[in-house]
Amino acid sequence: MELSSKKLEKAVNEMAQLPGIGKRTALRLVLHLLKQPKEQTQFLAEALQNMREEIKFCNNCNTLSDNDICEICANPKRDKSIICVVEDIRDVMAIENTGLYKGLYHVLGGRISPIDGIGPSQLSIFPIVEKVKAGEVKELIFALSSTMEGDTTNFYIYKQIQEYSINVSTIARGIAIGDELEYTDEVTLGRSLLHRIPFEMSIKNA
């Protein structure tokens, strides 16, 4: 795309680096910003820059956070003995939106996928095992997407903690195979959390 302004072209090219944004959409967004007051672009740029520079991972659950401990982990009303294991922050948001879960989370940062070169050591699995070992956990709920990688990850973690006497459950699947948690509607997700099943049962049925 050749444009009449190199500055415009550069902005469009940068915007088009984002996933799902083609050059046309990028141009539309950039032209939109040009029509807005200058401050609007400044707020956007500042928000992005601050987010990129200052955001951290929660020391306890590995989700994105402004502080060393995230708001969810720091909330005294949350039940610290229940941990829901998810892939990323989008899953945390999806489950939070159901309003039905009062425990904590643990964000793995992905799932085991040998094809993509992602092994257990690249994920935040060790801290979960440590928490279970320390006797802090009564129940672990697997809420990973029902893909082969999700199942492999569940099973890997399960093997590490099997010897400890805690409840291990998995969200009930009203969710079709391969569906990502993020796209499941709140009612279905809420129901599948409430009707979670013991993990052992889920592997016997597989």
List of residues contacting Zn ion (CB under 5 A)? 58, 60-61, 70, 73
We find the least distance from the C-beta atom of residue 78 to Zn ion, in angstroms, to be 10
CA distance 199 to 196: 9
Exposed (0-12), middle (13-18) or buried (19+): which is 23, by Cβ within 10 Å?
middle
Judged by beta carbon, residue 61 or residue 123, the one nearer Zn ion is: 61
Judged by beta carbon, residue 70 or residue 85, the one nearer Zn ion is: 70
Q: What's the angle, vertex CA 183, arms to CA 79 and CA 68, rounded to 5? A: 40
Q: Which two tokens stand for residue 91?
A: 């899953």
We find the least distance from the C-beta atom of residue 44 to Zn ion, in angstroms, to be 27
We find the least distance from the C-beta atom of residue 191 to Zn ion, in angstroms, to be 25
We find the least distance from the C-beta atom of residue 104 to Zn ion, in angstroms, to be 7
Judged by beta carbon, residue 73 or residue 175, the one nearer Zn ion is: 73
Judged by beta carbon, residue 30 or residue 58, the one nearer Zn ion is: 58
CB neighbours of 140 closer than 8 A, spacing ≥ 6? 82, 83, 85, 128, 132, 157, 161, 166, 167, 168, 169
CA distance 108 to 89: 9
We find the least distance from the C-beta atom of residue 22 to Zn ion, in angstroms, to be 36
Strands 167-170 and 64-65, by their bridges, are unpaired
Judged by beta carbon, residue 15 or residue 86, the one nearer Zn ion is: 86
